[in-house]
Amino acid sequence: AAELQGRVAGVNYLKKLQEYYFLKDLDITDQDVLIECAKDINIDVKEFMEDLHSTHSIKALQCDIKVTKEMHVTEIPSVVFFNENIEEEGLRVSGFESYQTYVKILELMTNTKLEKRELPDLAEFIKFQPFVTIKELCMIYEQSTQCMELELKKLILRRKVKKIVQKDQIYYQYVV
């Protein structure tokens, strides 16, 4: 329903929904919680509420469920790659894989050599990603846990990032 207001709205809504679930421990099946998420990301709440139960949203969800079943997606995370040729089957990658694995898949699918972009500053990345674990940061930045902890401590001291403990998990979040 949020994505019907644009791709960016859909992505922002999903991030906020994850924050509500993982950090605030809220029931994301509760319609009031869904509406609160919509308010938090400043989308048209009236339109969102109408779209929430629209046939278009229901069909989109059913389509996603169908693809999930067809691709035998049974674990999280799973990524399904499709190319422009609808005749070709998608490729499912289940579980955690290395960055290089995804690069290879994309290169094979596009028949082009991909070039790695420079990673953003750590604070900028955390600003973009609403909450992130140290394990994820270590994998993305290809650093040890000790190095990453040191960098995060610096950002915490500069009050750019805060540490959140929830459900026996530690997350880092950008301070607005």
The reported pLDDT for the residue numbered 138 is 94
Q: Is the pLDDT of residue 161 over 90?
A: yes
Which run of H or E residues covers position 78? strand 78-81
3-30 pLDDT per residue, tens:
999 999 999 999 899 889 988 889 999 9
**What is the value of pTM for the model shown?**
0.70
Mean pLDDT of 61-72: 90
Q: Is the pLDDT of residue 47 over 90?
A: yes
Q: Is the pLDDT of residue 137 over 90?
A: yes
Q: Is the pLDDT of residue 100 over 90?
A: no
The reported pLDDT for the residue numbered 151 is 97
The reported pLDDT for the residue numbered 54 is 92
**Percentage of the residues of the chain whose pLDDT score is greater than 90:** 62
What average pLDDT is seen over the chain? Answer: 90
The reported pLDDT for the residue numbered 124 is 94
Q: Is the pLDDT of residue 76 over 90?
A: no
Predicted confidence band at 109 (pLDDT cuts at 50, 70, 90)? confident
**What is the phi-psi region of residue 25: left when phi exceeds 0, alpha when psi lies from -120 to 50, beta otherwise?**
left
Give CB contacts under 8 A, 24+ apart, made by 19-24.
19/130, 19/131, 22/131, 22/166, 22/167, 22/169, 22/171, 23/131, 23/164, 23/166, 23/171, 23/173
